[in-house]
Amino acid sequence: MRKGRLKFEPDYAVAPGRIIREYLELKNITIEDGAKQTRLNLEIFKEILAGTQAITYEIAEKLEVVNEISSDTWLAMDKIYWEQKKKLEK
């Protein structure tokens, strides 16, 4: 008989930029071309990849057009990332 459920609490945070980076590698797209395709400033794009720039609604909309992951999903992933990162910094 189960007494309780196990709760998954990772000791790491995965930035949405990691998913973007993997997508770029899979499609053989350079970081520079990725920034152009999303119509984002190169420095901001690099910060997203590094996990130091939050994904805003406007950024999520631009990402959605390029890789077909909904803007809501990007925003949700980003929210989880920053919450987990904050929790780990305590």
- pTM for this model (two decimals): 0.83
Structural tokens at position 25: 């590698």
Measured CA to CA, the distance from residue 11 to residue 88 in angstroms comes to: 7
For residue 11, pLDDT over 80 is answered with: no
For residue 88, pLDDT over 90 is answered with: no
pLDDT given for residue 3 in this prediction: 67
Residues 6+ apart with CB under 8 A from 90: none
pLDDT given for residue 9 in this prediction: 73
Q: Where are the domains of the chain?
A: 16-89
Segment 53-77 mean pLDDT: 94
Q: Which CATH number fits domain 16-89: 3.40.1440.60, 1.10.357.10, 1.10.3720.10, 1.10.260.40?
A: 1.10.260.40
pLDDT given for residue 2 in this prediction: 59
pLDDT given for residue 34 in this prediction: 96
